[in-house]
Amino acid sequence: MTGVRDGELRASASSVVRSSYLHIVVAGAGEAIQNAAAAAVLDCFASLAMTEYQETPFMSLKLFELVGTDASRPFSPFCWRTRMALAHKGLSAETLPWRFTEKSAIAPHGSEKVPVLLHHDQPVVVSWAIATYLEDKFADRPSLFGGEGGRAMARMLNAWGDIAIVGGIFPLIIADILKNLDAVDAAYFRQSREARFGKSLEEVMSGRDAGVVAFRKSLEPMRQALKKQPFIGAAAPNYADYIVFGGFQWARVTSPFKLLEADDPVYAWREKLLDAFDGMARKSPGHAV
């Protein structure tokens, strides 16, 4: 691993790129130029995140991720937050596929849910706790928050992501998730979720054509921000983006239902994040939505 000085130089270079992009926006450049600048910033940011560290092996990081019948198709929105955070930090982790009914595999690590990150076999559980751990433990790598103010705002967005994004999407795709599970996990998922909703999964999802209209309206604050900047994190994505993106990637992996219209700024934002980190999220099997 190179020294802190290299990390400082890379942070300075990243700052210059961000400032250049913001100057273009403030100067009133056309949309095409702004989009090109955003793409250049994202490419530079990914390079800054990965170049220094890409030859480092797993660094004793292991990640339990939720999968179904296809172990190469992780689909938890919270695991995707962690996946993107690791990529942002330029870190690799050994993937440990985990299924709903495999509680005993993670119980020794003090959790009943994923993600569970092991660092030198020491567990960190819950996606938000993992993000803050990565930020503090690997402070010489690209920041997930951009300072304590950014961390504080991301904490609020984390709750909004849980309620408005994950909670808003869930009724729209809930019965589709079953198609990704084997018989044992499907039975567990149906029983536990139907108990939560008090009705069948099919009944929950039956109103999704109307429900998706309300969901799209709920995204208006985000949409307005994305009309002025390419990412929630401004010129380049940060953990605030990954919080929200995790929900959309969850839906993309598990359901063919279309959540966004192609002319929606949120759709364009999602496309950029699908392509981030050498297309990591897009390369994960999913539906063309």
- Residues whose CB falls within 8 Å of the CB of residue 78, separated by 6 or more in sequence, listed in order: 113, 114, 115, 126, 127, 246
Tens of pLDDT, residue by residue over 131-189, are 999 999 999 999 999 999 999 999 999 999 999 999 999 999 999 999 999 999 999 99
Query: Residue 94: what pLDDT?
Result: 96
Query: Residue 138: what pLDDT?
Result: 97
Tens of pLDDT, residue by residue over 214-255, are 999 999 999 999 999 999 999 999 999 999 999 999 999 999
Give the Cα-Cα-Cα angle 108, 114, 119 (nearest 5 degrees).
65
Query: Residue 202: what pLDDT?
Result: 98
Going by pLDDT thresholds of 50, 70 and 90, the confidence category of residue 43 is: low
Query: Residue 149: what pLDDT?
Result: 97
CB 198 within 8 A of CB 164: no
Strands (E), the chain: 61-66, 94-98, 116-119, 122-125
Name the CATH code of domain 148-283 (choices 1.20.1050.10, 2.40.50.140, 1.20.1440.230, 3.30.870.10).
Answer: 1.20.1050.10
- Select from 14, 12, 36 the least CA-distant residue to 25: 36
CB 192 within 8 A of CB 101: no
Helix (H, G, I), strand (E, B) or coil at 66: strand
- Select from 83, 76, 288 the least CA-distant residue to 185: 76
Residues in the chain, overall count:
289
Structural domain boundaries in the chain: 148-283
Strands (E), 58-194: 61-66, 94-98, 116-119, 122-125
- Select from 242, 261, 278 the least CA-distant residue to 143: 242
How far out from the chain centre does Cα 113 lie? 17
Whole-prediction pTM value?
0.82
Instruction: Write down the residue that tokens 């759709």 correspond to.
Output: 267
CB 174 within 8 A of CB 61: no
Query: Residue 211: what pLDDT?
Result: 98
Whole-number Å distance between alpha carbons of 94 and 140: 22
What amino acid is encoded at 156 in this protein?
M
142: its two tokens: 């690209």
Residue 26 pLDDT > 50: no
Complete edge-to-edge strand list for the sheet that includes strand 122-125 = 94-98, 61-66, 116-119, 122-125
